[in-house]
Amino acid sequence: MGITHRPLCPEDLEELKSLHEEWFPVRYSKAFYESVVHGVVLGSDAPLFSLVAVDDHQNDDDGTVTSAAESMDTSGQIDTTSPEIRPLPRANIIGAVIAQIMEAATCGDVDLAPDEYKVLYILTLGTASRYRRQGVAKTLVQRCISYAQSVHDCAAVYLHVITYNTAAISFYKDNGFQCLREIADYYLIDQMKYNCYLYIHYTEKKPPKRFLWFSYFFRPVINMMNYAFALFPEAAHREAYSCDTDALGDSEDPSMPPLIEQL
């Protein structure tokens, strides 16, 4: 097995759609997938960060194995004109992550970083079932962290995870994320409300210590506010959309925020 990494491209649209439908209990619009594979937020020209893990070696119909690396020309580009090279099958993508750089002041989640900083929000992260617990998701998350560190004034990588997903919670803890708080009624799945945890990983460009002390002392107040929001359906609904979920497009379940489930 030879695993390489690359950004999403337009040719990945159907494969990405199939994988997301396999991984997550929500159906996103075709417009969402079209924007993602072109590297932009739906309805804008704001860039998205995407990375897929690819198993280069695939079994052909005749039982032989073709490697994408073997089909590159001297310039490093894949030679798609070679008669011996056929398009790689759907199973080629074994993991994917999609994330967005956002201004801390406007991302909708408070208590992340001072307003002058940016944050990288992980929208979706998934791994094909046969490749789970083999380090695929770990590498994708590490690449996200490295990307955030390369962005000027990006203070953190963060995400939401449903509270019952203990495997994902352990995964993020093992990769240096810390739980900032619990958000009540963040997910609505099959008419049932579920809480989520907000996990964050600070980059080397950490916020000033005075902000972290402020965060520590005022976090209980923020948690109480989140609880108060949950008492009012309209407010809880707005909370579920707090992180620019317009980037996901219209889904068949419009109350569904971004999901980070299959690792």
Within-domain flag for 114:
yes
The whole-number pLDDT of residue 232 equals: 40
Distances (CA, A) of 52 to 46, 106, 119, 141, 207: 20, 28, 21, 11, 30
Within-domain flag for 32:
yes
Rounded to whole angstroms, the Cα distance separating 141 from 120 reads 11
Within-domain flag for 260:
no
Give the CATH number of the domain where residue 99 resides.
Answer: 3.40.630.30
Within-domain flag for 254:
no
Rounded to whole angstroms, the Cα distance separating 223 from 239 reads 13
Within-domain flag for 64:
no
Within-domain flag for 74:
no
The whole-number pLDDT of residue 101 equals: 96
Q: How many domains does the chain fold into? A: 1
Between 82 and 19, where is the model more confident? 19
Q: Which domain holds residue 97?
A: 24-50+92-248
Within-domain flag for 243:
yes
The whole-number pLDDT of residue 221 equals: 53
For the four alpha carbons of 176, 155, 208 and 204, in that order, the dihedral sign comes to positive
pLDDT, tens digit, 9 for 90 and up, residues 93-134:
999 999 999 999 988 888 899 999 999 999 999 999 999 999
Model confidence band, residue 43 (pLDDT cutoffs 50, 70, 90) = confident
Within-domain flag for 263:
no
Query: What is the model's pTM?
Result: 0.70
Structure tokens that stand for 131 in this block: 């490749």
Structure tokens that stand for 100 in this block: 């967005």
The mean per-residue pLDDT over the stretch 192-216 comes to: 74
The whole-number pLDDT of residue 161 equals: 94
Model confidence band, residue 189 (pLDDT cutoffs 50, 70, 90) = confident
pLDDT, tens digit, 9 for 90 and up, residues 73-100:
433 343 444 444 444 444 489 999 999 9
